[in-house]
Amino acid sequence: MTIKRGKFITLEGPEGSGKSTHLKMLEEYLKGKDFDVLTVRDPGGTKIGERIRGILLDPAIKEMNILTELFLFEASRAQLVHEKIREFLWEDKDKVVLSSRFTDATVVYQGYGRFLNNGKIGMIKKLNDIVVKDSEPDLTILLDIDVKEGLKRARGVNKDTPAGELDRIESETIKFHRGVREGYLKLQKEEPERIKIIDSSKFVEEVHKEIRIHVNRLLNIK
């Protein structure tokens, strides 16, 4: 008997868009519907990945090469897919993987943010394909928010740095973050069936209701 693949849902968005909050809410909702849920974050999610995450987000590191950054993100993701996501996802059709960020984040942050107009987007997508293989997301919730408002929120909720301090990526220029947001919006237009955009500046409860509409449709929850 062939085991059907579970579902993989990712939450994406600019800094401060509420990914961590909504990931937790969605996890609780799906567990309440008797789904077996694996929740991870990218970068991170494994011992190796968390150490890489620490390097990537350390605000004291100022001179990281662009390619070094890109390959560190891919290395963390490769370990996450190998160690956790693939085995869990293919174990049973009632399994659901939830991830805060995944391949789309690398396309927009290291692509549109770092390599904007340098023709590197295709290379990043190929690297993502190599790392992910048969474990690509089925649904991506894009939590959209104004860049300045998002960074203001991020300063208040960041858990990876001291209170009030932005991490290395958050500390980038407004131009960088605007490029990231524009990249997300471009990806959504390219893949509207997979990527569903939601205005995350609204009340948390309203955003969660919209997320559930898309998730219910994917998982056939009545």
Here the CATH number for the domain that contains residue 177 is: 3.40.50.300
Question: Is the model more confident about 213 or about 154?
Answer: 213
Local structure of residue 191 (DSSP, 8 states) = -
pLDDT at 1 exceeding the cut of 50: no
In a domain, 43, yes or no: yes
In a domain, 1, yes or no: no
Which H or E run contains 164?
Answer: none
Per-residue pLDDT at 115: 75
Rounded to whole angstroms, the Cα distance separating 209 from 199 reads: 12
Nearest to 217 by CA among 138, 143, 135, 136: 138
Rounded to whole angstroms, the Cα distance separating 117 from 216 reads: 37
Rounded to whole angstroms, the Cα distance separating 218 from 213 reads: 9
* Tokens of residue 23, six digits: 């990931």
Query: 62-83 pLDDT, tens per residue?
Result: 999 999 999 999 999 999 999 9
In the predicted model, what is the mean pLDDT of residues 42-64?
A: 96
Query: 152-174 pLDDT, tens per residue?
Result: 998 876 555 555 578 999 999 99
When pLDDT is cut at 50, 70 and 90, the band that residue 4 belongs to is confident
Total count of domains within the chain = 1
Per-residue pLDDT at 166: 85
In a domain, 40, yes or no: yes
46-60, 108-122, 128-142: range with lowest mean pLDDT:
108-122
In a domain, 45, yes or no: yes
Hey, which residues does 138 pair with through a beta bridge? none
Nearest to 18 by CA among 106, 142, 193: 142
Domain containing 22 equals 7-219
Per-residue pLDDT at 94: 86
CA distance to 100, 116, 192, per residue, from 205 (Å): 19, 35, 24
The residue assigned the tokens 């008997």 is 1
In the predicted model, what is the mean pLDDT of residues 89-108?
A: 94
48-62, 94-108, 115-129, 137-151: range with lowest mean pLDDT:
115-129
Per-residue pLDDT at 155: 81
Per-residue pLDDT at 198: 98
Residues 6+ apart with CB under 8 A from 4: 92, 93
Q: What is the pTM of this model?
A: 0.93
In a domain, 48, yes or no: yes
In a domain, 2, yes or no: no
Q: Would you say the C-alpha torsion 196, 197, 202, 204 has a positive or negative sign?
A: positive
In the predicted model, what is the mean pLDDT of residues 17-42?
A: 97
Per-residue pLDDT at 206: 98
Return the half-sphere exposure (C-beta side, CA atoms, 13 A cut-off) of residue 204.
10
In a domain, 47, yes or no: yes
In a domain, 81, yes or no: yes
What is the average pLDDT value for the chain, to the nearest integer?
A: 93
Query: 129-155 pLDDT, tens per residue?
Result: 999 999 999 999 999 999 999 999 988
Residues 6+ apart with CB under 8 A from 152: 16
| Edge-first strand listing for the sheet containing 95-100 | 36-41, 95-100, 7-12, 139-144, 195-199
Q: Please give the angle made by the CA atoms of 147, 191 and 112, to the nearest 5 degrees.
A: 40
